[in-house]
Structure 1
Amino acid sequence: MSTNGLSKDEKYKLITRNLQEVLGGEEILKILEERDLKLYWGTAPTGKPHIGYFVPFSKIADFLAAGVEVTVLLADIHAFLDNMKAPLELVKFRTKYYEELIKAAFVSIGVPIDKLKFVVGSDYQLTKEYSLDNFRLCATVTEHDAKKAGAEVVKQVESALLSGLLYPGLQALDEEYLGVDAQFGGVDQRKIFVYAEKYLPHLGYKKRSHLMNPMVPGLAGSKMSSSDPDSKIDLLDDEVSVVRKLKKAFCEEGNVTENGVLSFVKYVLFPLGSLNGQTTKFNINRPEKFGGKLVYTDYQTLEDDFRDKKVHPGDLKTAVAESINKLLDPIRKKWASNPELIKLTNQAYPELKADKAHKPIDVSRIDIRVAKIIKAEPHPSNPKSYVSTVDVGDASGKPRTVVSGLAAYIPLEQLQGRHVLAVCNLKPAKFQGIESCAMLLAGSSSDNSKVELLDPPEGSEIGEKVIWEGYGSAKRDAEILNPKQKVFEKVAEEFKVDEKGNALYKDIPFATSKGVVTLKTLREGKIR
């Protein structure tokens, strides 16, 4: 990790290699003429860290090799503010869990953790000075700019919480309070970085530089996500789980553009292998009858061979699984030998409980029915929403009014007379002055660019209850769910769309008496 003998330009090249974008590169070069760069990377302790974290870790290894002073921010306040991701009572345990797991991961790739500085956000974000700066920022920033800055990072929901507007401002202030020259993150953070560059000078603070990694596809072919178990491999997954998940990963033959398996090789395995001037060797061990062993010392040759179908997806997956297990093995061993770390894991991520009897939540408590939209109209005061009259098969025979935020995704004419699925036992809630008495279920891609309503099987009767094999069948007059208990939200974390367009709870299809619920064109996504 020594920087002896590296020139300013050599350091800059190492600092910026494999990045998608650099804002303020000229300022970084000026700083390197006088001293080493100071930089921070932040992570909010929400879901369990996955192998996607090795992408920034491998880049941080580059920073350290270039003499950069790196601060790792464990953004506990940010985790709480990001809507519904981390309850306050769990944040303190998750913060410690993240610190221990990140340190173990750095050790597994040969990065000395004594070169890293770990800071917990609440240690300074709750001070008088920081709070006053936050108020000063709030008096300067427009609502439009705050929403725009958080659009790619903060969870977007109907009637969003005010906390989502504060999130970008806090991340901008962190640059000043951590005393750094630059912030590092994924390109999905770009709007927050631009926000920081615009507004910090309004408070009399200097504009920082920003370094951005590309977003690496997950195993499902979309963004790797802590909330989507099919798109990720956790840092504590066992060897069998790693192999199983790699086998299921999206890795289409010849496809080099939407390939999370290949991207992991490019952005993690090759950069890590070349640290300290070493030559990377990526081995694909094939039986002789299929061509024998392949050894790659540069990524581009591997990509070219995969594009030309000289490397089979199955062989690539096997080789990547072997490499991932080598990376994870030191982390797993540390956890297995330390009862305190096992206890910490259970405190940070307790098993989902449904009630005082501590029984797992039964998905059949969610009253999802086949319904028909009688008519749909634009919301009178919100252009992003529709107001629909929906027949859900109530015994009274009366339809319900449903407000849905679908206007940006589905043309109004496509809703008229359509059969859909509706969640019928949520407590009614008002949206822009209109009470909504059910919720329409739709599937969406991981980046929310595509949204599509779920399709009940042809012939399903209006009011028919959706069922899941192996679970009980809720009564038509099911309980009205208490919104404070977030029963629906917890169960819905396990809703997804598979590669065939089937709607699933975990791996169990949504079904009616006529068959499986599907989506017409959407493949691999979430259900909301």
Structure 2
Amino acid sequence: MASLTPAEKYNIIARNLQEVLGKEQIESILAERDLNIYWGTAPTGKPHLGYFVAMTKIADFLQAGCHITILIADIHAFLDNMKAPMELVGKRAEYYTQLIKATLTSIGVPTDKLKFVLGSSYQLTAEYSLANMKLCSKTTERDAKKAGAEVVKQVDAPLLSGLIYPGMQALDEEFLGVDAQFGGVDQRKIFVFAEKMLPAIGYKKRSHLMNVMVPGLAGPKMSSSVADSKIDLLEAPEDVKRKLSKAFCEEGNIAENGVLSFVKTVLFPLGSMNGKSPSFSILRSEKFGGDVTYTVYEDLENDFRDKKVHPGDLKKAVTDAVNILLGPIRKWFDNDELRQLTEDAYPTPKPEVKAKPVKSNKPAANASSTVDVSRLDIRVARVLEAKVHEANPNSYISTVDCGNGDVRTVVSGLAKYIPLAEMQNRLVCAVCNLKPGKFQGVLSSAMLLAGSSPDDSVVELLQPPAGLEAGDLIEFEGFAQADRSSPEKLNPKHLIFEKVSEEFKVSPEGLAQYKDLQFSTKNGPVSLKSLKEGRIR
């Protein structure tokens, strides 16, 4: 890019980034030559739409004349709490390489100018191992944990593999021979660690370029490990529609809106590539304002805040845009070779051994081959005490009695909808056989069921009828209750609750239903305080 000045190159490199560490160093290099940058990705879960943000920046880097290395960090994938089993890492690395090439090609970025490197091609050498040992000799456990806090999965008893992960990412800058590393702002602590520690073992300090993080559909970050927070790059059109229809998108709320933020961080930047003017269109009938096209994101945000754009219209427009975006990638993988690679990298789970058939008109409780409401242990429970989460004012931490002395801690994102006073000493419906997991830093051991309006503007807890006690059954006609004597703990990876809950709804009469069956108790049906029609989550 001889026609660009160093200042123009820097502006292209830095545009739309959230932060740059080492600006002066980059400007100094650009005054003499083009910049060498690397971007790394660990082949764990299937890549999602958030990858488009990185791809648009890679396009910018190429436009600015940079030399780009894409690191497929296979060793890192295994080290991160074994997110990718070693026997699958190789296939997933191939899958990631193909998917990244397909994604870049779909937005007009030439891949022949990129260098793809497999981490294990140099990270298993004697030279790299010696450098890693030198770095370990200078790194405290505290610094290693702090560096990886936003990236490496955090557990109470961390494995050593997770502690050496940040150091290896820092060393990659030296062994790939780059001037700067590019990544999400969630890696900032690793970048700061690298700037401090590489000079400590005789290597030069690099610069760091940080992208914004793409919000999840139901949380702060789109994540490969949280199925409903993301849309995979090979997601089927009907699944894109389903996930976006369920996404949190409260009318008038621009502060916590993953759908709106996705338009800002992905769709508008993609629309402005190759010198084009960005645009985003919402198609709707005349009685709701007619079709409208936005060329400036802030205009869309202002109209949504002022309730001139309905969440349903926004979701439909984003669904259409995403399916157009993913079309070329689906086509790239529409052949026997890449379908087999996908299966090898992410094998379809083998069916578990089926229980012996029981001669009954009712579905067998806990039959592993079934995915229906009989798999869920839903009980009447009592919230003994609730308090606002210290780290998240939108969430409550509740002490919940699930019956027979079974008292649990439950984290729920209800604080913005339900006053704290209404959470105290009340009956609720709780799913009690989900595998406990950390939510916002607290181990949560059940889920409180709530109903929400189609636009998520109203959220209410399910309300069991009066006269019940903690531990009383929630039943569904024709389905056996989950066996509490030997309860099945539902693994979140199998998405049993997510699949069953797709059939949960609030009826026009304000009753909680599974398909067309009521949530029933010995004292009558479960209802909602005021909500008529909606979904249950």
TM-score class normalised by the smaller sequence: 0.7 to 0.9
CA distance in 2, matches of 1:12, 1:304: 31
CA contact (8 A) 1:367 1:476 kept: yes
Deviations 1:63-122 (A, max 9, x none): 111111111111111111111421221111111111111111111111111121111111
The equivalent residue for 2:416 is: none
Query: CA, structure 1 residues 368+315, in 2 after alignment: closer, same or farther (shift >3 Å)?
Result: closer
Change over 3 Å in CA distance of 1:69–1:314 after alignment to 2: same
Report the equivalent of 1:97.
95
Residues 206-228 of structure 1, C-alpha deviation per residue, up to 9 Å, x if partnerless? 11111111222112243112222
SS of the residue aligned with 1:215? coil
The AA in structure 2 aligned to 1:177 is F
The answer as to 2:112 corresponding to 1:114 is: yes
| SS of structure 2 residue aligned to 1:85 | coil
Q: Is the contact made by 1:82 and 1:154 (CA closer than 8 Å) also made in structure 2?
A: yes
Q: Does 1:182 align with 2:180?
A: yes
Say if 1:328 and 1:368 are closer, same or farther in 2 by CA, change over 3 A.
same
Q: 2:65 aligns with which of 27, 51, 67?
A: 67
Change (3 A) 1:344 1:22: same
| 1:277 corresponds to which of 271, 275, 278 | 275
Aligned to 1:429: none
In the TM superposition, 1:488-527 aligns within 5 A as 488=491, 490-491=493-494
Cα 1:138–1:221 change in 2 (3 A) is closer
Kept in 2, the 8 Å contact 1:20–1:187? The answer is: yes
User: 1-side partners of 2:309 and 2:428: how far apart?
Assistant: 45
Which letter maps to 2:278? Answer: T
Determine which of 233, 236, 242 is the counterpart of 1:235: 233
- Relative to 1, partners in 2 of residues 1:289 and 1:513: Cα closer, same or farther, differing over 3 Å? closer
Rate the CA distance shift 1:285–1:370 in 2: closer, same or farther, 3 A.
closer
Mark the runs of 5 or more structure 1 residues left unpaired by the alignment.
Answer: 375-387, 394-398, 407-413, 425-438, 482-486, 519-526
**3-state SS of the aligned residue for 1:250?**
coil
Taking the aligned partners of 1:208 and 1:470, their CA distance within structure 2 comes to 64
By how many angstroms is 1:144 displaced? 0.3
1:478 is matched with 486
- Counterparts in 2 of 1:88 and 1:283: CA distance versus 1, 3 Å: same
Q: Structure 1 residues 190 and 27 mapped into 2: Cα distance closer, same or farther (>3 Å)?
A: same
The one of 326, 342, 347 equivalent to 1:328 is: 326
> Which string of whole-angstrom CA distances, capped at 9 and with x for unpartnered residues, describes residues 491-522 of structure 1?
47967999x999xxx99x9x996788x9xxxx
Closer/same/farther in 2, CA of residues 241 and 392 from structure 1, 3 Å limit: closer
In structure 1, the residue matched to 2:350 is 353
- Match runs of 1:240-319 below 5 Å: 240-319=238-317
Alignment of 1:4-43 (within 5 A): 4-43=2-41
Q: Give the CA deviation at 1:252.
A: 2.0
Equivalent residue, structure 1, for 2:124: 126
Q: What TM-score do you get using the length of structure 2 for normalisation?
A: 0.74
Decide whether the 8 Å contact of 2:410 with 2:446 is kept in 1. Answer: no
User: What is the rounded CA distance, in whole Å, between the counterparts of 2:476 and 2:202 in structure 1?
Assistant: 58
User: Aligned residue for 2:337?
Assistant: 340
**Residues 199 and 238 of structure 1: CA distance in aligned 2, closer, same or farther (over 3 Å):** same
Query: Cα distance, 1:166 vs. partner?
Result: 1.3
> Which amino acid counterpart does residue 344 of structure 1 have in structure 2?
L
Q: Tell me if the contact between 2:354 and 2:369 (Cα under 8 Å) persists in the aligned partners.
A: no
What amino acid is the match of 1:345?
T
Length-normalised TM-score, structure 1: 0.75
Separation of aligned partners in 2, 1:360 and 1:37: 55
Counterparts of residues 392-411 of structure 1 (less than 5 Å):
none
Secondary structure in 1 matching 2:304: helix
Contact 1:422/1:441 (8 A) holds in 2: no
* Shift in alpha-carbon separation, 1:495–1:83, aligned structure 2, 3 A: farther
Matched residue pairs, number? Answer: 469
Query: Aligned Cα RMSD in Å?
Result: 4.4
Relative to 1, partners in 2 of residues 1:319 and 1:479: Cα closer, same or farther, differing over 3 Å?
Answer: closer
Partners of 1:66 and 1:371 in 2: CA distance? 60
Distance 1:297 1:391, change over 3 A: closer
Structure 1 pair 122–467 and aligned structure 2 pair: CA distance change class (3 A): farther
Counterpart residue type for residue 77 of structure 1: I
Q: Is the 8 A contact 1:420 1:441 kept in 2?
A: no
Match of 1:76 in 2: 74
CA distance in 2, matches of 1:449, 1:7: 51
The more displaced of 289-298 and 44-53 is: 289-298
Contact 2:436 2:444 in 1 (8 A): no
Asked whether the equivalents of residues 443 and 453 of structure 1 are also in contact (C-alpha less than 8 Å), the reply is no
Deviations 1:259-279 (A, max 9, x none): 222222222222222223222
Residue correspondence of structure 1 range 216-227 to structure 2 within 5 A: 216-227=214-225
Residues 219, 492 of structure 1: alpha-carbon distance in 2 compared, 3 angstrom cutoff: closer
Q: Take 2:58 and 2:378, find their aligned partners in 1: how far apart are those partners?
A: 46
**8 Å contact 1:362–1:471 — kept in the other structure?**
no
Provide the residue aligned with 1:385 in structure 2. none
Identity, % of aligned positions: 58
**Which residue pairs with 1:432 in the alignment?**
none
Cα deviation, residue 462, structure 1: 7.4
Tell me, what secondary structure is at the counterpart of 2:200?
helix
User: 2:203: which partner in 1?
Assistant: 205
SS in 1 for 2:20: strand
Distance 1:265 1:349 in 2: 29
Distance of aligned partners of 1:259 and 1:449 in 2 relative to their CA distance in 1, 3 Å threshold: farther
